[in-house]
Amino acid sequence: MTDRIFNFSAGPAVLPEPVLRKAQEAIWNVAGSGIGIMEHSHRGKVFDKILVEAEASCRALADIPDDYAVLFLQGGASLQFSMVPMNFLPPDRTADYLNTGVWSQKAIKEAKLLGRTVHVACSSEATNFDRIPKPDEIAYSSAPAYAHLTTNNTIYGTQWKTEPAVPAGVALIADTSSDMYSRPIDVRKYAMIYAGAQKNLGPSGTVLVIIRKDLAETGPKTLPTMLQYRTFVAERSLYNTPPTLGIYLVGEVFKWIQSQGGLAAMAEHNASKAKALYDYIDASDFFRGTVQPDSRSLMNVCFRAPTEELEAKFITEATKRGLDGLKGHRSVGGMRASIYNACPRAAVEALVAFMKEFELANRSASAARV
């Protein structure tokens, strides 16, 4: 490794190197067309083939049934926070939200801004979101229009290990931005899944939406055209000019995941990386994890040093060593290693080696734990 360093950023995040190499060529001349991917018409045959292949790979990875549409949208997951209640939460109904951190809170806020009724079915805010609520802590409202959860919480480093049970007939909608396709997923358990691409799927600016077609048709037809899911289902994500480069890259990431053995292989790869890092943190008397063990994320590993001064020193020295993006979110501090699909095992090994070295050199300087 000469001109690349290890990137632990929470997003936009590391992409597979083979995909980046292929993108270099595609920006200049995609599919032997003599035109770069960013210059091609989204109505032309070259891009249409790219779109078809991206959707096919997406479907194959998770065995997505035909009654679900695969959409490539824009606006980030944050726009979905608004579009979901606009389409699926009538003024006379209630939606249930499972609150596990900042992104859950933002989704709740957007629904309330629309004047909709929101019921918080569970929350781990009392312990600063250091865990996922247990099943017996979830209390749904009497007849929710849908239930919404965030599957992985990048800021706090927590992750749902499996889908929470929801009442019969209630649509489960999930923001899977930071762990989508990091492990097998049963799409049939959800009415809708959405994910900003910039963590596990591709570059920022593209959003993957997997939605049951019958659900998409239930949204009010009085909404602006661009805010109706049915618009994009009917037009195959091509109602307006889509993020063509982003879709190309997401499609290539899907193919890369397939080449690695699919979602089961990704899950094994990610679990192995996370275990190596968590095992060291647990054995250390210098660093400490911030999440209850049964709620730990395999994507975002959050940890602290004994003092904030040592944390600042750690981040500075790690960056000099080519270990970038380790500063924790500004709202919680500490350190965070985001080890998404494309993060290689070598990156985690290099991080653990540096942590050991830093601990040995600075143990005497730690007067108190944070």
Quick one: pLDDT band at residue 363, thresholds 50, 70, 90? Answer: confident
Q: Is the predicted pLDDT of residue 367 greater than 80, yes or no?
A: no
Q: Is the predicted pLDDT of residue 88 greater than 90, yes or no?
A: yes
30-36 mean pLDDT:
97
* Residue 63: count of CB within 10 angstroms of its CB: 12
Fold designation for 261-363: Aspartate Aminotransferase, domain 1 (3.90.1150)
Quick one: pLDDT band at residue 99, thresholds 50, 70, 90? Answer: very high
109-120 mean pLDDT:
97
337-361 mean pLDDT:
98
Q: Is the peptide bond before 12 cis (omega within 30 degrees of 0)?
A: yes
* 129-142 per-position pLDDT tens digit: 999 999 999 999 99
Query: Residues 142, 169: contact at Cβ < 8 Å?
Result: no
Q: Is the predicted pLDDT of residue 1 greater than 70, yes or no?
A: no
As to burial, measured by CB atoms within 10 angstroms (0-12 exposed, 13-18 middle, 19+ buried), residue 253 is buried
Q: Active site residue: 160, 175, 179, 273, which one?
A: 175
As to burial, measured by CB atoms within 10 angstroms (0-12 exposed, 13-18 middle, 19+ buried), residue 199 is buried
Q: What is the pLDDT of residue 368?
A: 45
103 is catalytic: yes
Q: Active site residue: 130, 160, 179, 199, which one?
A: 199
As to burial, measured by CB atoms within 10 angstroms (0-12 exposed, 13-18 middle, 19+ buried), residue 279 is exposed
160 is catalytic: no
As to burial, measured by CB atoms within 10 angstroms (0-12 exposed, 13-18 middle, 19+ buried), residue 32 is exposed
Fold designation for 17-259: Aspartate Aminotransferase; domain 2 (3.40.640)
Token couple for 289: 């994890």
Query: Residues 81, 227: contact at Cβ < 8 Å?
Result: no
Distance (Å) of CA 150 to CA 24, 102, 106, 194, 257: 33, 10, 11, 10, 23
Q: What is the pLDDT of residue 370?
A: 41
Quick one: pLDDT band at residue 2, thresholds 50, 70, 90? Answer: low
| Cα separation, 15 vs 203, whole angstroms | 8
Q: Active site residue: 103, 255, 256, 273, which one?
A: 103
* Residue 362: count of CB within 10 angstroms of its CB: 18
Where do the domains of the chain lie?
Answer: 17-259, 261-363
State which amino acid sits at residue 67.
D
Quick one: pLDDT band at residue 168, thresholds 50, 70, 90? Answer: very high
27-43 mean pLDDT:
97
* 204-228 per-position pLDDT tens digit: 999 999 999 999 999 999 999 999 9
| Cα separation, 370 vs 357, whole angstroms | 20
Q: What is this structure's pTM?
A: 0.96
Collect all residues with Cβ–Cβ distance below 8 Å to 113 and sequence separation of at least 6. 82
199 is catalytic: yes
Quick one: pLDDT band at residue 93, thresholds 50, 70, 90? Answer: very high
State which amino acid sits at residue 34.
G
Q: What is the pLDDT of residue 3?
A: 85
* 257-280 per-position pLDDT tens digit: 999 999 999 999 999 999 999 999
Q: What is the pLDDT of residue 366?
A: 62
Q: What is the DSSP letter of 327?
A: B
Q: Is the predicted pLDDT of residue 27 greater than 50, yes or no?
A: yes
| Cα separation, 165 vs 154, whole angstroms | 23
State which amino acid sits at residue 105.
Q
State which amino acid sits at residue 268.
E
